[in-house]
Chains A and B, each alone.
Chain A
């Protein structure tokens, strides 16, 4: 069991990735890695073993649901928080059914981004994280 120390953010949109990276880096004490391409992200999650994955839902090539189900199919227990521009109930249901640990809608203000990153880091720091 380990404490939250590293986060990997997967989002095909470089701007979203930048906001998320900025918000999480501002929390301090957490290593943040970003990846634009979901296929490469899968590889990196396997090798770098981050403590938490923030995963965009809508991506070209492979969408967030597929990345999550591949990870769970491999028995990878890494906590995954899904992140989407619009939280449709059917997407939320599908994400939880696939095995995500949380589902958030992408914030619209910087303050919300920081609050989101703060809440996520705070939450996962308190609890114990599963080992890879």
Chain B
């Protein structure tokens, strides 16, 4: 089987398969309605008319209209040019017949099965089915309306199935549902819920059945699904007490309430889908930004790795020439250069590995003391700090919600930078401070790491967090990837990092950590 393209993909099924799934449902409805007509009324087999002994019968007119609706649905799924028009013609026929039945309720003629008028609820269901098919075929912008109609008409039918099976029929004899047969209710709700609601042109299914939406969908839909029939029933009952309307009046009220509540439900669904779509768009924007950065990074990395390789080759040639001339002093110098160039390579690769790890690691947040993480970071740089006659001080401690391993490596990188850019004429002093930041939802900590070194060049500060930017003082001392690593870790926590350019006593790097870290990198 060919892999389905994104365009043709409905509910993870290839388009053709999805079409045929809905088509098979319509065909099954068609077969049952035809069986009722041909076997039930043609051969007069009672079981086909009632399903269970003592239950109401499916009226011949209902079966006939269901046949028309099912064929209309099958035609609406076909690719011929005339198919939607033929489908709509059938739908119009269903609407016309249903309307005439609803408006001209004539007494049935004894012995003539075709003269019996179906219940109001059945007529309503058939009418909505016909309207929905019409909308699906010709008004793609109004398909939400088709969804409202289908939901409004399917709910009483489902209610009727429950009433028939659990309570032996509608409790109220005057109810508009009282003559609706079990299989009529099944076929109508089946048609509306599958052939209309899951119709590929309606597009509900492909959005609603996405795994990422299912949880939210259930949470939103469950209360509404319970409230819709209960609320409509209760409201109708209350109104009937107040105005004392007859059966038709009650049914009209009930249908109106169903329509309004279905509209509310579909409105909520569309909100849900819109939110989900917005989130998906944001995710994809973030992803393409990350991809862009990665592409730029890969280019820079390739460029930077090329250089030491080329240098080893070139110094090799110079060494050879010097040896041929017998100039051993120069040869020795070139040999040292070969060694230095070769040393650059693992350093660049190591930096790239660190950066990649930090960019793609999932953060596992826990509450940690700032001082402990700083202590752990300082311990890893202990020898260099001692050599620089330096000290690392935490001015005010804080309890931070973060991944302790990753944030420790941020401190380690910043301390290592401070050591590299220290002033040789004075002892190194690294101060780390934490302050509360923001109010309301954006609460978090603002952590600053400052030193008394040479500071950042203003021009370098602008590009410092680029993976392969190099400060002047670090030339030859590393791939300059440390700040980029810090940035990807802090961004992974949902924070930001920057160089405080107003500080002139050395370098001050500031980063923020929100109280609830976001997995922005994922």
Contacts and interface: CB of A to CB of B under 8 A. Distances in A.
B306 A110 contact: no
Given A36-B475, A110-B317, A113-B314, A86 B306 contact: yes
Contacts of B459: 39, 61-62
Interface stretch (A7-15, A45-53, A92-100, A121-129): A7-15
A12 B311 contact: no
Candidate in A14, A16, A61, A62 with the most chain B CB atoms within 10 angstroms:
A61
Interface in A21-70: 22, 36-37, 39, 58, 60-62
A12 B475 contact: yes
Given A109-B314, A110-B314, A110-B317, A60 B471 contact: yes
A105 B113 CA distance: 92
B269 interface: no
A88 interface: yes
Contact of A60 (B314, B318, B460): B460
A14 B307 CA distance: 12
A37 B472 contact: yes
A85 interface: yes
A112 to B, nearest CB: 9
B298 to A, nearest CB: 12
B457 interface: yes
Given A39-B459, A61-B459, A85 B313 contact: no
Contact of A106 (B310, B341, B472): B310
Contacts of A1: none
Contacts of A16: 307, 311
A113 B318 CA distance: 12
Interface residues of A, number: 23
B470 A108 contact: no
Interface string B314-345: 11011001000000000000000100010000
Nearest to B317: A110
A16 B469 CA distance: 18
Interface in B266-314: 299-300, 302-303, 306-307, 310-311, 313-314
Given A36-B475, A109-B317, A110-B318, A12 B470 contact: yes
B476 interface: yes
Contacts of A109: 313-314, 317
A58 B303 contact: yes
A101 B122 CA distance: 84
B469 A14 contact: no
Contacts of A37: 472
B472 A61 contact: yes
Contacts of B321: 110
A17 to B, nearest CB: 11
A108 B476 contact: no
B199 to A, nearest CB: 48
Contacts of B471: 60
Interface string B337-357: 100010000000000000000
B251 to A, nearest CB: 71
Contact of B306 (A14, A15, A60, A85): A85
A59 to B, nearest CB: 9
Nearest to B337: A15
B302 A86 contact: yes
A95 B337 CA distance: 31
Nearest to A84: B303
Nearest to A61: B459
A15 B470 CA distance: 16
Contacts of A88: 299
A58 B480 CA distance: 14
Contacts of A62: 459
Contact of A86 (B303, B337, B463, B476): B303
Candidate in B306, B310, B313 with the most chain A CB atoms within 10 angstroms:
B310
Nearest to B466: A60
Given A108-B310, A109-B313, A60 B470 contact: yes
Contacts of B313: 108-109
Contacts of B317: 109-111
Given A12-B470, A85-B306, A86-B303, A61 B314 contact: no
Interface of A: 12-16, 19, 22, 36-37, 39, 58, 60-62, 85-86, 88, 106, 108-111, 113
Interface of B: 299-300, 302-303, 306-307, 310-311, 313-315, 317-318, 321, 337, 341, 457, 459-460, 463, 469-472, 475-476, 480
19 contacts: A12-B470, A15-B307, A15-B314, A15-B315, A16-B307, A36-B475, A60-B472, A60-B475, A61-B459, A61-B460, A85-B303, A86-B299, A86-B302, A86-B303, A106-B310, A108-B314, A109-B313, A110-B314, A110-B321
Lowest 10 A-B CB distances belong to which pairs? Answer: A60-B470, A110-B317, A61-B459, A15-B311, A108-B310, A86-B303, A85-B303, A85-B306, A61-B460, A19-B314
Given A60-B460, A61-B460, 9 more contacts: A14-B475, A14-B476, A15-B307, A39-B459, A61-B472, A62-B459, A110-B314, A110-B321, A111-B317
